[in-house]
Amino acid sequence: MGKSILVVGGGIVGLSCAYYLQKEGHEVTVIDKSAMNSGASYVNAGYLTPSHIIPLAAPGMMAKGIKWMFNSSSPFYMKPRLDADFLRWAWAFNRSSTQAHVEKAIPLIREINVLSKDLYSDMHDSGELGDFQLEKKGLLMLYKTQKEGRHEKEVARRAADEGLEVTELTREELDTIQPGLSPEIDGAVHYLCDAHTSPNEIMDRLKMYLRVQGVVIRQDEEVIGFTQNNKKITGTLTKKATYSADEVILAGGSWTSGLLKNLGIRLLLQAGKGYRINVSRPVGINLPAILMEAKVAVTPMKHFTRFAGTMEFSGINHRIRPERVEAIARAAESYYTELEILQQEKQAAQCGLRPVSPDGLPYIGKTSHYDNLTIATGHAMMGWSLGPATGKLVCELISEQTLSMSLEGFHPERRF
């Protein structure tokens, strides 16, 4: 018999939970504090990335953060601030940034990414959301320096060992598939295992599909607290109403840790701000790419090309830092000879907050505090890629089905 499910959070993770739960016959309501038309699920690079097997918490990342701490235009920026939650997170992030952690994380990241890519393909092939963009052209890692080239080739060899399809390209081979590149570019690694999409298109179609299927979506409604009895959440309070449900899923992205404080649960989580610039005119870019030295993502989406990037830890805010937008634009122009990003395009830049755990792995699963609470957040830069897999796993967990993969490595109460 179906349960009543309340999903807090209307991004790709929350909507994916709703998608699979309604298919299992559950009665689902989604609540989100926003108008559900902006944020990380709308401004990301649209990548499906089995190739991204290295977690954000890796050797050398904390050193980079400290090095770039006073450069607000750097790719990885930690704004200096005396904030207890941030300091606890930073300490755990530093402890997690080891080679042993990377080795443990690689098979987990690969497995959940491959699962999620397959689920995107299933959605596409089913026709339920219409014929949305899902292009399996792979992902280019473009590098100018031998240092970045050597590093990415090491990752590529490890990805190949994990069964992922990848090839190394010389400059001559690169020019045949992507003309117009700067002569400074030395070569590329091509992850043929990856794919790309247009996030806005999928989000809009997913919301429409869910409403038709009977899922109730409450937008512009903020959760402000909970009522509980023993180990059960009995009510979820918003500024407009109180909701009762058999199961509560917290998929509120960067806001999830704040919601959990209302339940007496501390979850180490920080908002990692990313930016995007859209160019709605032909620019001659036909393959998605990451510009290695600049850490900028380039994606040819439906009707426009997106330039996205940076990781900024400055708390929960949507302040646009012009110097960071300018850094993305300058980097893109330095990799493509005919590209010029106009001032009005830079002025229309948007940002989104990605929820980042200290070890770069998502939080997926139940806690020991409440029997009817499930957490689904902390996906860092892979939120878009991992949305469907997270939704599927949460559905299997709540429906008491065999899990598609083990959730042990993603447990919300794991130690750092």
**Residues above pLDDT 90, as percent of the chain:** 94
Q: Which DSSP string corresponds to 84-131?
A: HHHHHHHHHHHHH-SHHHHHHHHHHHHHHHHHHHHHHHHHHHHTTT-S
- Tokens 């990752």 belong to which residue? 155
The model's pLDDT over 196-230, given as tens digits with 9 standing for 90+, comes to 999 999 999 999 999 999 999 999 999 999 999 99
- pLDDT of 311 reads 93
In this prediction, residue 396 has a pLDDT band, given cuts at 50, 70 and 90, of very high
What is the separation of C-alpha 272 from the centre of its chain, rounded to a whole number of angstroms?
10
Question: How many other C-beta atoms can be found within 10 angstroms of the C-beta atom of residue 367?
Answer: 19
pLDDT (0 to 100) of residue 80: 81
CA distance 11 to 30: 10
Q: Could you tell me the CA-to-CA distances from 336 to 1, 180, 283, 305 in Å, in that order?
A: 56, 6, 9, 13
- Beta-carbon neighbour count of residue 157 at 10 Å? 13
Closest CA to 2 of 213, 227, 251: 213
Least confident of 65-74, 281-290, 319-328: 65-74
Categorize the per-residue pLDDT at 182 as very low, low, confident or very high, splitting at 50, 70 and 90.
very high
Query: What would the pLDDT profile of 326-350 be if each residue is shown by its tens digit?
Result: 999 999 999 999 999 999 999 999 9
- Other Cβ atoms closer than 10 A to 143: 24
Give backbone dihedrals phi and psi of 353, rounded to 5 degrees, phi first: -105, 115
Confidence of residue 75 (pLDDT cuts 50, 70, 90): confident
The chain-wide mean pLDDT, for the chain, equals 96
Q: pLDDT tens for residues 293-308?
A: 999 999 999 999 999 9
Is it the case that residue 68 has pLDDT exceeding 80? no
Token look-up 């709540």 returns 398
Single out the residue of 380, 196, 225 nearest to residue 288, CA to CA: 196
Token pair belonging to 125: 């092939």
Residues in the chain: 416
Determine the Cα–Cα distance for residues 184 and 42; give it in Å rounded to an integer.
32
pLDDT in tens, 130-167: 999 999 999 999 999 999 999 999 999 999 999 999 99
3-state secondary structure of 350: strand
Q: Which two tokens stand for residue 305?
A: 């090309």
Q: Which class would CATH give 4-410?
A: alpha beta
Rounded CA-CA distance 127/116 in Å is 17
293 and 143 in contact (C-beta within 8 Å)? yes
pLDDT value at residue 78: 86
Integer Cα distance of 110 and 91 in angstroms? 26
